[in-house]
Amino acid sequence: MDKTSLTALARQQLKLAATMSSGRSSQTVFGGHQRHLRQTVIALTSGHSLAEHDSPGEATILVLSGKLALICGEDSWKGSTGDMLIIPAARHSVDALEDVAFLLTVAK
């Protein structure tokens, strides 16, 4: 069995995101493109976003630290530390309302 500290990984990715012009950093912690399940820790610095994109399949966001907005058309949902958001099966984007790290889980 492997064990990963999502708290430590979130801190690490936030530090890396702060050094990137894109304001983001990520690391896949389980699975990958060749598997059905993929879990990735993503960090965004305040004011940055993941641009609108298609839904990759069934997916959730678990906010590890900070605050974000999940936007789908005219709808928007805010998430903060400890919140889990279900990503709609439609084009969507994610905005960092403050420095944020989250676990993206995707099942294809």
Over 90: is that where the pLDDT of 71 sits?
yes
- The pLDDT value given to residue 85: 98
What is the pLDDT at residue 33?
Answer: 74
**pLDDT band at 1; cut points 50, 70, 90:** confident
Share of the chain above pLDDT 70, in %: 100
Domains and CATH numbers, the chain: 6-107 (2.60.120.10)
99 has a pLDDT exceeding 90: yes
The residue among 104, 94, 84 whose CA lies nearest residue 46 is: 94
- Does residue 6 carry a pLDDT above 90? yes
- Judge whether residue 32 has pLDDT over 90: no
Report H helices in the chain: 6-18
| Cα 32 to Cα 48: distance, rounded to the nearest angstrom | 24
The pTM of this model reads 0.94
